Amino acid sequence: MIKVHIITIGDELLIGQVIDTNSAWMGEYLSREGFEVAGKQSVKDDRNAITTALDFALLHSDIVLITGGLGPTKDDITVKVLASYFNSGFIFNDEVLKNVERIILPRIGHINAHNRSQAEVPEKARIIMNSLGTAPILWFEEHGKVVVSMPGVPYEMKHAMTQDVVPQLIDKFKLQNLNKYKTIVVSGITEAELAENLAEFENALPESIRLAYLPSPGYIKLRLTGKNAGPAYDTYLNRLKHEVRSILVSEDEILPEWILAGLISDKNLTVATAESCTGGLIAHKITSVPGSSKYFKGSVVAYDNAVKIDLLDVPEELLEQYGAVSEEVVIAMALGVSRRLKTEIGIATSGIAGPDGGTPEKPVGTIWLGWCIKGDCFAKKLSLHYTRQVNIERTATNALMALNKYLKDM
């Protein structure tokens, strides 16, 4: 297999100011395309650190992919370090300058010396234009190995990878992707329970096929990877789907809100949310999907009991008898929002996200979820023990995943 090493550059990555999402995305994408990711590392904006990382990466890999440090400011030193590393002088590239002008001039009407400096590129590098940004992609080759430097801005890097870099690498190394890679999504079970249920399946897997568990709030991804596994891979994939058929919510690795989009559109339904502890997060997730206006009507963030009464028609006596965080109230909220906004589906949440506000009877992390689907109402209690933000995120995801499972079984 063709081995790849990933290097991400930037002080901000090391001090935690910016999370390195680039290497995670690149690793997954490269694996899908049939490359072997041999390693990855993040280094600071420092000549010695970058040079040391390059030495190590080229010793162990055929390809080194670099992101970051290509901007026009003084702390962006990647281009200079690469030129020195490959004993290259600089030349002025008119095409790069035209690209810089194309992007900068409509925004501010002029370019300065810093912008112009991005057209000064290493003479030994092959230049790939960055259609989404000003920093060009630099491609170096030496002793049969390739080093490619890309922008650190995630959307620029992803576009460069998918449209230019990886296709050209596949062509250069005559890569035949014999790997198979599939991720399915299950819900309503803990990771430990799932592992126990799949123990026999895992024990029967040949060495060429591996199963990985990727837990997320409210669901678990199961990734089955085959390396040169041949027809056996499809056999085991089908068996895996059969093993988890009762808890399977998607045969593709997609977010719950995207799963909902497909299910709810297929059934020609509409939905609204009544949210207390989630503060509108469920609505935000639903509306992040393009085209959601066709099935999402709106949301009521009913944090105060008066809002629950006035806008969602929750009977005051239910609040007095059971409290806002209860099965009875959350079902009334779901029913109320579906009636008010005239939808077939209502989703509701009410709970104590923390870090305070709990009682002995209802400790922090007590959450009630409610759903009403064409008048059929049901509820579910969660007992969470995470931080406030994680509790809220898990609640929103659980609300969507449970609805997905219900719709899938309709």
DSSP characters over 178-226? -EEEEEEEE-SS-HHHHHHHTHHHHHT--TTEEEEEEEETTEEEEEEEE
* pLDDT for the residue numbered 180: 87
- Which residue has 């993040």 as its token pair? 42
Contact partners, residue 312, CB within 8 Å, separation at least 6? 274, 300, 302, 332, 333, 336, 337, 340
Dihedral of CA 123/127/131/132: which sign?
Answer: negative
Please, what is the Cα angle at 253 between 251 and 68, to 5 degrees?
165
At the fourth CATH level, which superfamily is domain 3-172? MoaB/Mog-like domain (3.40.980.10)
**Helix-strand-coil split of the chain, %, nearest 5:** 40, 25, 30
Q: Which CATH class is domain 256-409?
A: alpha beta
Per-residue tokens: 44: 């600071």
Distance of alpha carbon 232 from alpha carbon 390, whole angstroms: 39
From the candidate CATH numbers 3.30.1490.20, 1.10.150.80, 3.30.70.2860, 3.30.470.30, the one assigned to the domain spanning 179-250: 3.30.70.2860
Tokens of 72: 């026009």
Cα distance between residue 345 and residue 286, in whole Å: 13
Give 387's DSSP letter. Answer: -
* Predicted local confidence at residue 245, as pLDDT: 93
CATH 3.30.70.2860 placement within the chain:
179-250
Tokens standing for residue 19: 């999370």
Is residue 5 within 8 A of residue 40, CB to CB? The reply is yes
Largest pairwise CA distance in the chain: 80
Q: Is 346 helix (H, G, I), strand (E, B) or coil?
A: strand
Q: Provide the token pair at 231.
A: 């027809």
Buried b / exposed e along 281-291 (16+ C-beta atoms within 10 A): bbbebbeebee
Tokens for 114?
């810093």
For the chain, residues with pLDDT lower than 70 are none
Q: Is the dihedral of CA 262, 266, 270, 273 positive or negative?
A: negative
Residue limits of CATH 3.40.980.10 in the chain: 3-172
Both tokens assigned to 407: 């719709």
Could you tell me the sign of the dihedral formed by the alpha carbons of 385, 387, 390, 392, in that order? positive
Tokens of 35: 């490359």
Task: Report which residue type is found at 135.
Answer: A
pTM for this predicted structure:
0.73
Residues 360/347, Cβ–Cβ less than 8 Å? no
The rounded distance, in Å, linking the Cα atoms of 179 and 209 is: 10
Strand order in the sheet with 209-216: 209-216, 219-227, 179-186, 248-250
Order across the sheet with 137-142: list the strands.
36-43, 3-9, 63-67, 145-150, 137-142, 126-128
CA 322 to chain CA centroid, Å, is 38
* Separation between Cα atoms, residue 377 and residue 370, nearest integer Å: 7
